[in-house]
Amino acid sequence: MTASATKRNAKFPSQSALAKTFHWVNIIALLLMMASGLQIYNANPVFGGRAGWDFPELVLLGGWLAGGRAWHFAIMWVYSLNLLAYGVFVFVTRRWQHRFASSGDLKALRASQNEKRKNFAKHRLVYTAIVPVLLLAIASGLAMYKPAQLHWLAALFGNWQTLRTVHFLTVPIVLAFSLVHSLLALKVGNLRLIKSMFV
């Protein structure tokens, strides 16, 4: 058997149907939230005030401010509940033992000569680092959604502009995470690993 045939017949990584569902819902919800969030942004840009730069209609969802808010807050519940369900899934199935960073990963980055081991360590560190960012995105979003009822949460951010800026900046961080997460997955398991999460 040739090397290419062996590669084609290599075991396809297996992912549970639940894991695939969580990833699909997460990606779709995130895209809808970004599009509706940019619709809200255009009504009063975070940077530059009313004269700030607008995003083109091609990437917006909602048609106007109220429409953007309706979409954003509706999808927020889908996104948040999906993340919560995924967190429970990771805990119950003990996937956290293989997905999140440990002291061994830090040691591997410092001392290991094994590139594959170091890539696994980087992957888990990135996967772990995104958790507080996601929690910050949800917390800041909830504080803007219900500023009167959750005044104590909004107060943690100091003022309204800081709250809006923090919430807005979580978006490029999550996008950067998605890119790095995908690149590290390619290094660790090639394209087969990424395909296994969606098909």
CA–CA separation, 77 and 80 (whole Å): 5
What the block records as the tokens of 16 is 């549970």
Residue type present at position 80:
S
Average of per-residue pLDDT across 109-131: 76
C-beta of residue 96 within 8 angstroms of C-beta of residue 90: yes
Cα R_g (the chain), whole angstroms: 20
Nearest to 68, CA basis, from 39, 42, 92: 39
Average pLDDT over residues 87-113: 75
How many angstroms separate the Cα of 66 from the Cα of each of 63, 131, 143?
8, 30, 18
Does the pLDDT of residue 1 top 80, yes or no?
A: no
How many Cβ atoms are within 10 Å of 40's Cβ, its own excluded? 24
Decide: helix, strand or coil at residue 170: helix
Distances in whole angstroms, Cα of residue 24 to Cα of each of 17, 21, 28, 88: 11, 5, 6, 17
The token duo for 55 is: 């995003």
Q: Mean pLDDT throughout 102-123?
A: 74
Q: How confident is the model at residue 9 (pLDDT cuts 50, 70, 90)?
A: very low
- Mean pLDDT over each residue of the chain, to the nearest integer: 81
Give pLDDT, residue 26: 86
Instruction: Quickly count: other Cβ atoms within 10 Å of residue 163's Cβ.
Output: 21
Given a contact cutoff of 8 angstroms between Cβ atoms, the answer to whether 72 and 33 are in contact is yes
**pLDDT number for residue 49:** 64
User: Alpha helix (H) ranges present in the chain?
Assistant: 3-8, 17-43, 65-92, 96-99, 103-111, 115-145, 151-155, 160-196
Chain segment 30-87, per-residue pLDDT in tens: 999 999 999 998 888 877 666 677 788 899 998 888 999 999 999 999 998 998 898 8
